[in-house]
Structure 1
Amino acid sequence: MPSLPAIGAVPSLDAEERANILDTLFEPCTQLHTLSVETLGSSKFESYSALIEAVGHQLQSLYTSNLESDEKWLDDILAAHPRLGEKKVESEQSQREQAQLNQGGEGEAEKLARLNNAYEEKFPGLRYVVFVNGRSRPVIMEDMQRRIERGDIQQEKQDAIQALCDIANDRAKKLLAT
C-alpha cells in the first residue's frame, strides 16, 4: 500500500519522491510531474489538502490559458486517469477504487465500455473522470450519459479537474488515516 510522507518533509524530498507523491494522489503522469514537482519542492504546505489545492490551481491555469500547448498539456493530464471500469489499471489506488465498479454483471460492463467509447468520441482526448465516492455503477453510468448528452467540453474539463482534486483529497485522507 502506498504511503505519504509527513507534509512538512515534502519540500526536502528529491524530485523522484515528489513525483511519487503526485502519482499516489493523482495518477502517474509525466506532464503532471513537469507541471508540479518543482512546486512541491519550492513551497511549504500546511496539509495535503493545501498541496492538492495548489496543484488544482496549476491545472486551472492550464485550463484558462489561451495557449494550445497548455490545452494539450491539460488534456494529457486528464487522460492519465484510467477509463472507468478498466480491468488493467496502473495505480494501486485506482485498482482499489474501481474494484466496486467491476462487480456488476457482464451486461453492465458492456454498457460501461460503450459509454466510455461514446464519451471519448464526444470529447476527443479526454477520459470521463468522476469521484465515485461509493456510488454504484448504474448511478455513475447515468452521470456519464448525462455529461455526454450535455456535450460541453469546457465544462467536462472543469468537472475533471474538480474530480481529480476530490479523488486526491480522498486518497490523502485514507492514506493518512492508516
Structure 2
Amino acid sequence: MAATTEPRLPSIQSVPSLSADQRAKILDLLFEPSTQLHTLSVPLLHEKAFQSYNELISAVGMQLTELSDSASTSDTQWLESILGSHPRLGAKKVDSSQSRSEQAQLQGSGEEAEQLRKLNEEYEAKFPGLRYVVFVAGRSRPVIMEDMRQRIAQSDLSTERATNVR
C-alpha cells in the first residue's frame, strides 16, 4: 500500500507566477474548495505578492469582509456560496484534507452525532445560506456544540456572516 502525502504549499514568493489552476489549489488548501472563492481570489494571488501565507489569508479575508459589508444582494449570495462550501460539522463526506482531519477529532457517540445533526439544522434554519464554521483543532465536541448553541441564541445574520469570515 502506497503512503499518501499531504499536499504542500509552494513558496509564497512563487504564488504570483503560478498558473490559475495552481493558485486555485492553494486556496483549496487554505480554505475549502469553492468555485466562487476561485473567481474572487485567484486573480488577487496573481496581482499581489505576499510576504507570508498569513498575509495572503488576511487579504482574502478582506475580500470576504467587503462582500459581507456590501448592501448588494448578489455580493451576499456570492459570500454565502463561499461560506456554504465549508462542510457541516460531523459530515461523513468531506472534500478537503484539513477538514477531514478536523472532523476526525469530532468522532463521538451516536447520540452526540444526532445532537450535532440537529444543531446543524437549527443553525442553517436561523442563518439561511450559512454553515456553522469554527476552528475545531484541540476542541472537544461538547465545547463546539455549546459554542454553536450560543451563536444560534445570540447572533443575528450579519454578525454570523462576519464571524464566519473571521
Q: Same fold (TM over 0.5)?
A: yes
State yes or no: 1:143 paired with 2:147: yes
| Corresponding position of 2:3 | none
Structure 1 portions without partners, runs of 5+ = 163-178
Q: Which structure features the higher share of helix residues?
A: 1
Question: What letter matches 1:120 in structure 2?
Answer: E
Which residue, 124, 127, 134 being the options, matches 2:128?
A: 124
CA distance in 2, matches of 1:44, 1:120: 37
What fraction of aligned residue pairs are identical, expressed as a percent? 60
1:98 maps to 103
1:72 matched residue in structure 2 = 77
Could you tell me which of 6, 16, 32 is aligned with 2:37?
A: 32
- Provide the rounded CA distance (Å) in 2 between the counterparts of 1:93 and 1:139: 20
Whichever residue aligns with residue 23 of structure 1, its letter is D
Q: Do 1:122 and 1:151's aligned partners in 2 also have CA atoms closer than 8 Å?
A: no
Larger relative contact order (Cα-Cα within 8 Å, sequence gap ≥ 6): 1
Query: Aligned Cα RMSD in Å?
Result: 0.7
Whole-angstrom distance in 1 between the partners of 2:64 and 2:129 = 16
TM-score relative to the length of structure 2: 0.95
Which amino acid in 1 is paired with 2:157? I
* 8 Å Cα contact 2:29-2:98 kept in structure 1: yes
CA distance in 1, matches of 2:62, 2:156: 21
1:152 to 156, 160, 163: 156
- Work out whether residues 115 and 144 of structure 1, in 8 Å CA contact, stay in contact via their aligned partners in 2: yes
How far has the Cα of 1:161 moved from its partner?
0.5
How many Å separate the matches in 1 of 2:126 and 2:69?
Answer: 21
Deviations along 1:118-153, one digit per CA (max 9) or x if unpaired, are 101111111000111311000000000111111411
